[in-house]
Amino acid sequence: MQFLVRRAAALAAVLLSIGASAPVLAAAPGPRTLVVGTGAVAGYAYPIAGAICRAANATRDKSGYRCAVESTEGSVANLQRLATGDLDLAIVQSDWQRQFVTGTGKFQSPKPDTELRALLSLYPEVLAIVVRADSGIAGAEDLRGKKVVIGEPKLPLNPLFGDLLAAIDLDRKEFAQTIEMPLSEQPKSLCDKRVDALVTVVAHPSMFLAQTAAACPIKLLEFKGEAIDQMLRTRPHLAAATLAAGTYPGQAEPVASFGIRATLVTRASLPDEAAESLVASVLADLDSIRRQHPVFAGIDRAQLGTAALSAPLHPGARKALEKAGIATPPLAAAEPSGASR
């Protein structure tokens, strides 16, 4: 018995000695977390970021990066927090992206930010002008002398409507009346012929427009032609869009329009391999992502790397897109070569 005790004690001493002299084996580091700023949980930015993160997290063991979603106050807050390093990625509207990189509007500055980088152009938010099907209004020019609902009370007029009016040389003073009206009252006012047109900018399909179409037969005005093309050339934060036939009841034909895009952005400091892995994961899972919400069906694979992007394309995103045969803009001087940082 004493022999067994002594043997156990000796063995313990040997193990202790080995442990004291041997190097400690550190646990393998886990994937680095990339946080995506979105918007309100009830909006579209939050679920699209969730879909992107699910795609990215499916390959996190291989890529070394995991993706997490954070609800925020929206595009402006996201851009500000990206600049301070409080977020790694963000969903922002393309018009806010444009202001940020040009130092205009909300981000007025003599020294605009040069570190913002685009990753993907996502779903469109499209200008829609709705009239009654029997109104005789064929295009925006026919709104002269009409009563037009331009938005809701106390909310700023969406600039897309102003862009349209400037493009077709139509002044708001030429309307019989411009009206601000709560959203809930607009469909009935149109159907009761108290107003002639409703102006809205939404992601499609829109519950609001579906409800309006259910209240009475409607028509969506088309916006296309050289005047619109010229406007889009001078406003790179905008992109052409088409509402597919059948998007709303009674809409038998596609409707051409334009709008802004939800975009995924980051900073130049994001490692190239992280950006490439994230974008490649989205491309591999794009069909599934587009099925996760009716609005996401508007994501156009061919325009992922070009539509309404003002910030330079991140080199890692460019690499993933070009590998997939998707068009990218010409290489900008601000973009380094694809070396990892």
Report the top-level CATH class of 32-124+261-323.
Answer: alpha beta
Confidence (pTM):
0.86
Strand partners, 13: none
- Work out the average pLDDT over 264-276: 97
Q: pLDDT band at 29, cuts 50/70/90?
A: low
Two structure tokens written together for 84: 């301070």
Cα–Cα distance, 279 to 327 (Å, whole number): 14
Q: What is the pLDDT of residues 234-251, one digit of tens each?
A: 999 999 999 999 999 989
Topology of 125-259 in CATH?
D-Maltodextrin-Binding Protein; domain 2 (3.40.190)
99-114 tens-digit pLDDT? 999 999 999 999 999 9
pLDDT tens digits, one per residue of 161-179: 999 999 999 999 999 999 9
∠ CA 328-222-290, nearest 5°, is 45
Cα 74 to Cα 188: distance, rounded to the nearest angstrom: 31
pLDDT of the residue at 242: 94
Same CATH topology for 32-124+261-323 and 125-259: the answer is yes
Q: What mean pLDDT is predicted for residues 129-158?
A: 94
pLDDT above 70 for 19: no
Residue 192, helix vs strand vs coil: coil
Which residues, 6 or more positions from 221, have their beta carbon under 8 angstroms from its beta carbon?
Answer: 129, 130, 131, 137, 138, 139, 140, 197, 255
Rounded CA-CA distance 61/76 in Å is 33
| Residue-range domain boundaries for the chain | 32-124+261-323, 125-259
